[in-house]
Structure 1
Amino acid sequence: MKYLIFGANVTGQTFFENYLNKIEIVGVVDREIKKYSKHFEGIGCWSNMTEVPSNILENINVILVASSSIKQSESIKFMLQRIVENLNINVVSIFEIDFYADFMSTLSRESRVTFFKEKKGDITYRLDYDDLNKDSIVIDLGGYMGQWTSDIYSKYNANVFVFEPIPEYCEFIKKRFEKNPKIKVYECGLADRQYISKIYLNEDATTTFGDIDSPYYNVELIEYSNFMKTNNLNTIDLIKINIEGGEFDLLDSIIKNDDVKNFKHIQVQFHDFVPNSDIRRENIRQELKKTHKLTYNYDFVWENWSLKS
């Protein structure tokens, strides 16, 4: 089998490095290949498909799409299929490089964060929802200073429920949006059940898994299902979850109670300081796959799941 990589970005580079001696990679195509060619020594480098020599094109079995976005990969695959048909070459298959298994797992968390920032993920991936509008219901869990709420509201004019249990942060958010009736702010958190929890402070982060010697607050966490019933919220168009370790119990409960289909989009940051975080995250992901599709993924940074149509 002969493989051609389409995309010379970091995903393509990492795949090439990992699989160079395992499969036969004949070349790479990228419109900015001059910038990246040094990473692909020993194979052909071309800026577009029409530059690939005919004797190589005729023998390609698989085209690997190197993309950091599953959504982007799908559009590239469609485009490549048309190109393959027009060039009249017999390619067995076109598929995206498995972003989770073949790329993200090779990077440290620091590198994943850097890569996410390079992609301007906070203003692209995390705000990009084609079906949100002025009637949408959005929940922001872990409001902090309210910037994500501000961005999502500005883009869609949506109705936003913000939860921030730390008094100082919550007060700041309340003042920030006090003249906006479409943004409601609550000094508590949402959880799998109602209880009082210790929230430890660590600079701009908070967590329920802190050092016992760290400063902390006793904060109220309310059961998500009771909140939804009280406010007549049958469907949540988007929920953003950044609750410093509490995401595991919350999502486990949402899935167990069969409420997951009531959430159209789930944007979540998992945290690896939680015991057995890898196993727990993977179990949740396997359950989410039954009802939702992954639209982007940066392990333990940000990922998004959208309800299947």
Structure 2
Amino acid sequence: MGLGQKIIEAIEGFRDSQRKKQPGVVGQFWRDGGKQLLYDLPIVPGGMVIDAGGYKGEWSIGMVSRYGCRSWIFEPAPVFFQYCQEYFGKNALVEVHKAALGGENRKAAFSFFDNGTSEYGAGNSQCFEVDVIDVARVFDEAGTSIACLKLNIEGGEYEVLERLLETNHILLCDSLLIQFHRQPAGYKESYENIVAALQKTHVRVWCYEMVWEKWIRKDIQ
């Protein structure tokens, strides 16, 4: 192992130890395995995943390397879209889309806050226009079941899930990884309604409230 790799591993080890020391649900998530929990999924080579809120593509990197699956990344922030596009540029298993998922096709103004970039954040000087794409259309274009739908989209998950439930495209999701957020206004009622609806078709395997949840379709369970 080269010196550079040793330094990287040392830094990551320190970060991991700090994460585990955090109080409450966040710390418990990391103590229970953290990111490794996000990779234990019912996926076979050639399966398809959707990575909504791709950021720097870390989850897709892990999924493609572990399972040999295909990934569609949706990342609206120009800097992170470009990062993913350059990183995966020669990887035929990955498509990177400069767009956000939503309940309909529309334009939206997003505010840039690194990995908290959102349509629902407080406005700042780094606002930019985003193409929001109807998630039902994306599923139709995929033309296959989705081995995992990963949602980390800073409040947009409610709109996406409501649309999938409305159109019954939710039945095409073998599994879901969802990070729910305390936004937009009315999120509590939306969360309760979504959970109640999901329980008809999927089983919640584990839940770290407002951190991450994992759901598996009942016939796969």
Into which bin does the TM-score normalised by the smaller protein fall? Answer: 0.7 to 0.9
Task: Name the TM-score, length of structure 1 as normaliser.
Answer: 0.62
Partner residue in 2 for 1:227: 138
Deviation at 1:214, TM superposition (A): 4.8
**Structure 1 segments of 4+ aligned residues over 4 angstroms from their partners:** none
Q: Give me the identity figure in percent.
A: 27
Task: Name the TM-score, length of structure 2 as normaliser.
Answer: 0.85
Q: 1:197 aligns with which of 96, 108, 113?
A: 108
- In structure 1, what is the Cα distance between the partners aligned to 2:164 and 2:114? 30
Partner residue in 2 for 1:249: 159
Deviation at 1:274, TM superposition (A): 2.2
For residues 214-293 of structure 1, the aligned pairs below 5 Å read: 214-231=125-142, 233-293=143-203
Indicate the SS of the match to 2:189. helix
Partner residue in 2 for 1:127: 39
Count of matched residue positions in the alignment of Structure 1 and Structure 2: 198
Quick one: structure 1 residues 234 and 187, their matched pair in 2 at CA, closer, same or farther if it must change by over 3 Å? Answer: same
Which structure has more relative contact order (CA 8 Å, sep 6+)? It is 2
Deviation at 1:161, TM superposition (A): 0.6
Quick one: which amino acid aligns to residue 118 of structure 1? R
Quick one: which amino acid aligns to residue 178 of structure 2? V
Indicate the SS of the match to 2:95. strand
Q: 1:152 aligns with which of 63, 85, 93?
A: 63
Deviation at 1:278, TM superposition (A): 2.0
Partner residue in 2 for 1:83: none
Deviations 1:80-131 (A, max 9, x none): xxxxxxxxxxxxxxxxxxxxxxxxxxxxx951111111122212x11001x3
Deviations 1:247-297 (A, max 9, x none): 001101110112111111011000013212222111100000000001110
Structure 1, unaligned stretches of length 5 or more?
1-108
Deviation at 1:209, TM superposition (A): 1.1
- In structure 1, what is the Cα distance between the partners aligned to 2:23 and 2:128? 29
Question: What is the aligned-residue RMSD (CA, Å)?
Answer: 1.5
Quick one: which amino acid aligns to residue 28 of structure 2? F
Deviation at 1:178, TM superposition (A): 1.1
